[in-house]
Amino acid sequence: MLKEIVNNNGISKLFTKFMFIKFIAILFTILFSLSSVHSKEEISVKLEKVIDGDTVYLLDNNKKKYKVRLHAIDTPEKGQIYFLRAKEALFKLISNKSLTLEKINYDKYGRVVGIIYADNENVNYQMIQHGHAWCYRKYNRNPKFIEAEENAKSKKIGLWSLKEKNVAPWEWRKKSAK
């Protein structure tokens, strides 16, 4: 049986094929990883208007307008408690600052889903950290966002300081749609 596996050079044909396939798989993994890293698009932008606590209009240097939904966060909807405070908090974090938009993808409404950096600080994270937003776990892949939300809750800051029961925006939208 050993003779069937080993060729004349003492190297298994099966082993050689296996190594070739493994090499190709590793090569594709590396190429895919590199393309993902370079596919991130970051652009310098200016604030045009804050719509709510997680949606803004931004302008690039060519005056192209972007409607942006902040990635991995969710803030109270119009009609919910804390709506205006979340909107004002976002305005304070990004007005009169050097802004960068990291485009992640587009949502079903055609908005850019992204991360906004104000003076190199992650605004999405800051909104959660200061208790102005929920970590939107459905889309979040960053454990620091969850940790920031837990810290804000435990310190009872921002929307977590309210005596009224907080209803997560995604739950509120479901109830409002009925």
Looking at per-residue confidence, does 3 or 96 come out higher? 96
Q: How far apart are the C-alpha atoms of 148 and 178, rounded to whole Å? A: 32
Segment 65-75 mean pLDDT: 98
Q: How confident is the model at residue 96 (pLDDT cuts 50, 70, 90)?
A: very high
- Is pLDDT above 80 for 1? no
Both structure tokens of 139: 């889309």
pLDDT of residue 36: 42
69 part of the active site: yes
Confidence of residue 4 (pLDDT cuts 50, 70, 90): very low
pLDDT at 37: 45
Question: What is residue 25's predicted lDDT score, i.e. its pLDDT?
Answer: 64
Q: What is the mean pLDDT of residues 77-106?
A: 98
**CATH fold of 41-177:** OB fold (Dihydrolipoamide Acetyltransferase, E2P) (2.40.50)
Instruction: Provide the pLDDT for residue 94.
Output: 99
Give me the pLDDT at residue 2, please.
Answer: 45
pLDDT of residue 35: 42
* DSSP letters spanning 94-163: HTTS-EEEEEEEE-TTSPEEEEEEETTEEHHHHHHHTTSSEE-TTT---HHHHHHHHHHHHHT-GGGG-S
Give residue 7's pLDDT. Answer: 53
The domain spans of the chain are: 2-39, 41-177
Is 77 tagged catalytic? yes
Catalytic member of 4, 69, 147, 171: 69
pLDDT of residue 46: 98
pLDDT: is 49 or 7 the higher one?
49
Name the catalytic one among 77, 85, 102, 137.
Answer: 77
pLDDT for the residue numbered 30: 67
Mean pLDDT of 49-77: 98
pLDDT of residue 16: 72
Catalytic residue among 85, 102, 111, 137: 111
- 173 catalytic? Reply is no
